Amino acid sequence: MAEIKESLRDKAAGKTAAIMLISDKSFSLMQDHTYSGNVVYGTLGFQAPAMAAGSDWKDFSLEVLPELNATCVQR
């Protein structure tokens, strides 16, 4: 398991991942201290997008989605 984690961390290095919840007119981004965020950002080593800084969930209108600037997106 440790080898797999290390391999994934190497592949995630320098990449930004967004964990999203999408609704009709908006989307929310998860932080690094939530369960999913802890796995994606802590264990796997992805960086959280700058837009996600500040709270557990941050809501955005769909119009700003192009500004997300994430290498990977998980919904």
Domain positions in the chain are: 1-74
pLDDT of residue 55: 66
- Fold exhibited by the domain 1-74: Rossmann fold (3.40.50)
The pLDDT value given to residue 75: 65
Query: Which class for 19: exposed (0-12), middle (13-18), buried (19 or more C-beta within 10 A)?
Result: buried
Q: What is the pLDDT of residues 16-70, one digit of tens each?
A: 998 888 899 899 888 877 888 888 888 888 988 888 877 677 789 989 988 888 8
User: Phi and psi for 50 in degrees, rounded to 5?
Assistant: -60, -35
Q: Is residue 45 a contact partner of residue 13, using CB atoms and an 8 Å limit?
A: yes
The pLDDT of residue 74: 66
